Amino acid sequence: MPNKSHIGKSALVTGATSGIGQATAYALADAGAHVLVVGRRRELGEQVVSKIQEAGGTASFYAADMRSTSDINSMVETAVSLFGKLDIAFNNAGIFDRMNDFHTYSDDSWDDMLTVNLTGVFRCMRAEITAMLTTGGGVIINNASTVSHRGSHRAGPAYVAAKHGVLGLTKQAAIQYVHHNIRVNAVSPGPTETPVAAPLISQGPEAVAAALSALNPTGKFISPQAIAQAVVYLTSDVASMVNGSEIVLDGGQLALL
């Protein structure tokens, strides 16, 4: 039986043109939500919208860059204008860099990573909370990471610092707005089957297992659809008492630490 837990709700998803964001846009629409698909790549975003509409859902595309405060504010204003309110926001957009040593890490790399992955999330939350305060509340989910809890041999220092910060923003907003009917939580994925992982995946299951088994006890990538379903759960009424928390999707990675 189809899950229609989100009928009548409105949602926006950033970074929704591929990977985790795309899967979440589909999952929220399948659950009945009206979805604003947000990303920088218009052609891909409109393809996501078309697929949702073909399946009988409601969706629109909005082009926004998480480096731009005006884009972020307009994104939220557009969601409210289209749907009358903002019930759900999934702050998923982010960028990744490979491991760079502290002593060679540039100011430009630091500034760019923090601007998108931390400041961008803060600005999204600020605009979303402002809208939700005027329309009766809502739920915000931030995409953190397992590196919100540890260091990384794969990611650079700015990425790790930003993801720690995202978890902090999640907890801070959760306690500040709980009495305004606004819940704030996070999902923290381990290595995920996104386009970034395509070169490794193309080498086959044995290569994937060899690369991941030291981190993930399953030796497998996390699927974007699994993360999307966690977001659907956290934004549903059955999760009404989940606030300032996170769902870690890592196959047991953090349990090994």
Residues with catalytic roles: 159
Looking at the chain, the number of H-run helices and the number of E-run strands are 9, 7
φ, ψ at 139 (rounded to 5°):
-130, 130
Rg for the chain, CA atoms, rounded: 18
- C-alpha distances out from residue 138 to 35, 83, 179, Å: 14, 14, 12
CA 239/CA 243 separation, integer angstroms = 8
Instruction: Name the nearest CA neighbour of 156 among 166, 165, 146, 147.
Output: 147
Coil, strand or helix at 82: helix
Exposed/middle/buried for residue 257 (C-beta within 10 Å: 0-12, 13-18, 19+): exposed
Q: Which residues contact 218 (CB under 8 A, 6 or more apart)?
A: 212, 251, 252
CA atoms of 150 and 136, how far apart (whole Å)? 36
